[in-house]
Amino acid sequence: MGFARTCSVALVGVEGVVVEVQADLEPGVAAFTLVGLPDKSLTESRDRVRAAVVNSGAEWPQKKLTVGLSPASVPKGGSGFDLAVACAVLGAAERIDPRVLTDIVMIGELGLDGRVRPVRGVLPAVLAAADAGYEQVVVPECTAAEASLVPGVSVLGVRSLRQLIAVLTDEPVPMEEPDETGRPDPMLAGLCVPGTGVGAGLGVGGALDDAHTLDLSDVVGQMSARTAVEVAAAGAHHLFLQGPPGAGKTMLAERLPAILPRLSREDSLEVTAVHSVAGMLPPGKPLVDVAPYCAPHHSATMQSLVGGGQGLARPGAVSLAHRGVLFLDEAPEFSSQALDSLRQPLESGHVVIARSAGVVRLPAKFLMVLAANPCPCGRHTLLGDGCECPSSVIRRYQARLSGPLLDRVDLKVEVEAVTRSELAGYGTRGESTRTVADRVRAARERAAARLSGTGWRTNSEVPGHTLRTRWPAAPGALDAAELDLERGFLTARGLDRVLRVAWTVADLAGHDRPSAQDVALALQLRTGISRGVPMVIEPIGVPR
Per-residue pLDDT of the chain (544 residues; tens, 9 = 90+): 689 999 999 998 888 999 999 999 999 999 999 999 998 889 999 999 999 999 999 999 999 999 999 999 888 988 999 999 999 999 999 999 999 999 999 999 999 999 999 999 999 999 999 999 999 999 999 999 999 999 999 999 999 999 999 999 999 999 877 665 555 555 565 566 555 443 345 555 544 444 446 888 888 878 889 999 999 999 999 999 998 888 889 999 999 999 999 999 999 999 999 999 988 887 677 899 999 999 999 999 999 999 887 767 789 999 999 999 999 999 999 999 999 999 999 989 999 988 776 788 999 999 999 999 988 888 776 554 578 888 899 889 988 999 889 988 999 998 888 877 777 765 556 788 999 999 999 999 999 999 998 989 999 999 988 988 898 889 988 998 889 888 888 888 888 999 999 999 999 999 999 999 999 999 999 888 878 788 888 776 555 5
Q: What is the pLDDT of residue 379?
A: 78
| 458: DSSP letter | S
Residue 463: how many other CB atoms lie within 10 Å: 12
pLDDT of residue 200: 43
Cβ(525)–Cβ(490) below 8 Å: no
Give the whole-angstrom CA distance, residue 275 versus residue 321: 10
Whether 430 and 217 have beta carbons less than 8 Å apart is answered as yes
481: burial class by Cβ within 10 Å (0-12, 13-18, 19+)? Answer: buried
The whole-number pLDDT of residue 467 equals 87
DSSP designation for 256: H
Quickly list DSSP for 149-204: TSTT-EEEEESBHHHHHHHHTTPPPPPPPPPPTTS--GGGGGGS-TT-STTSSEEE
405: left (phi over 0), alpha (psi -120 to 50) or beta: alpha
- Within 10 A of 353 (CB to CB), how many other CB atoms are there? 20
Largest Cα span, the chain: 90
* CA separation for the pair 124, 110 (Å, rounded): 20
pLDDT at 326: 96
**β strands within 225-380, DSSP E:** 239-242, 292-294, 325-328, 350-355, 358-363, 367-372
The answer to whether 128 and 17 have CB atoms below 8 angstroms apart is yes
The distance from CA 316 to its chain's CA centroid, rounded to whole angstroms, is 9
Name the residue among 289, 274, 15, 286 with its Cα closest to residue 143.
286
pLDDT value of position 13: 85
What is the C-alpha to C-alpha distance for residues 260 and 539, in angstroms, rounded to an integer? 19
C-alpha 472 chain-centroid distance: 34
pLDDT of 541: 53
As a whole number of angstroms, the distance between CA 349 and CA 345 comes to 5
CA triple 459-464-469, angle to 5 deg: 105
Nearest to 410 by CA among 511, 323, 525: 525
In terms of Cα–Cα distance, which of 213, 204, 406, 234 is closest to 322? Answer: 204
Beginning with the edge strand found earlier in the chain, give each strand of the sheet holding 2-12 in spatial order: 31-35, 64-70, 15-26, 2-12, 104-106, 136-140, 154-158
